Amino acid sequence: DTAVSQTPKYLVTQMGNDKSIKCEQNLGHDTMYWYKQDSKKFLKIMFSYNNKELIINETVPNRFSPKSPDKAHLNLHINSLELGDSAVYFCASSPGLAGGNEQFFGPGTRLTVL
Amino acid sequence: AQTVTQSQPEMSVQEAETVTLSCTYDTSESDYYLFWYKQPPSRQMILVIRQEAYKQQNATENRFSVNFQKAAKSFSLKISDSQLGDAAMYFCAYRSGGGADGLTFGKGTHLIIQP
C-alpha cells in the first residue's frame, strides 16, 4: 500500500497555464508538507499544514496556493506557470509537528514548464 | 536561520569499502534533530538515520552510523561494507525541536559505488 501518493508523477505544460498536483497520505498523519527540488537537486520547504491549518509559508510566490480539504490530502495549485517553476515537487507527511518525527515522502511530481 | 552544508558534491567508493559523508550545520538552538536521507535514481526520499541533539550516543542503523560532534556542529554519515544499492544522492537535514519550520536540507552528496 502506498503511504504517500502524488498525482500526476509527470506534468508537462506551457508557460502561463494553471495546474494542480494532488497529494494523499493513508498513514493517519496530522501534518503534511510540500517541498520543491530544483534542477541542482536542492530541496526546500514550501508549505506545511497541521490538521488542515497552514503552519509554514516559506517566501513562495502567491501563484502557489496549497489547499487541504482534510487531514489526508494536501493539494498544490499553481497559477500562471513560469519557466522557473520547473522542478520536482515532493509531498510529505509526519505524525505531528514535533521535530523528531520522521517525514514520509511521496514519489515526487516532475513539473516541466515549456 | 539554520544552514546545512555538505562540502562533498560527489564521492566514490569501492564496493565493500567504507565511506564517510560530511555535513556541518549552523544553529543557535539547543533542541533540534539531524537526519540523513537517501535519494536513489528512482527519486524516492528515504530516511537513513536520525540523531537527537540531546543524545550524546551516536545513532546506528545496521551498516549506517553517524559521528555527531555537537560542539563542532558536525554530523557525518559512515557507510560500512558499501553495496551497489547504496548508490544515491545523500542529503543531510536539520529540523528544530519544535518542528514548525520543516526540514532544512544540505545540497547533497552524490555517492558512486565502484564494483
Q: Average pLDDT for consecutive 10-residue bins of chain A (114 residues)?
A: 91 97 96 95 93 82 93 96 97 89 94 97
Nearest CA to B97 out of B29, B17, B24 is that of: B29
Cell numbers at A38, concatenated:
530544483
| Residue contact A45–B96, C-beta within 8 A | no
Question: CA-based Rg of chain A, rounded to a whole angstrom?
Answer: 13
| Residue contact A102–B44, C-beta within 8 A | no
| Residue contact A97–B89, C-beta within 8 A | no
Per-residue pLDDT of chain B (115 residues; tens, 9 = 90+): 789 999 999 999 999 999 999 999 999 999 999 999 999 999 999 999 999 999 989 999 999 999 999 999 999 999 999 999 999 999 999 999 876 778 999 999 999 999 9
- What's the CA gap between A26 and A85, in Å, rounded? 28
Query: Chain A: nearest CA to B24, how far in angstroms?
Result: 16
Nearest CA in chain A to B38: A105
Nearest CA in chain B to A50: B100
Cα angle A71, A8, A56; round to 5: 40
Phi, psi dihedral angles at B60 (to 5 degrees): -140, 140
Nearest CA in chain B to A97: B99
| Residue contact B103–A96, C-beta within 8 A | no
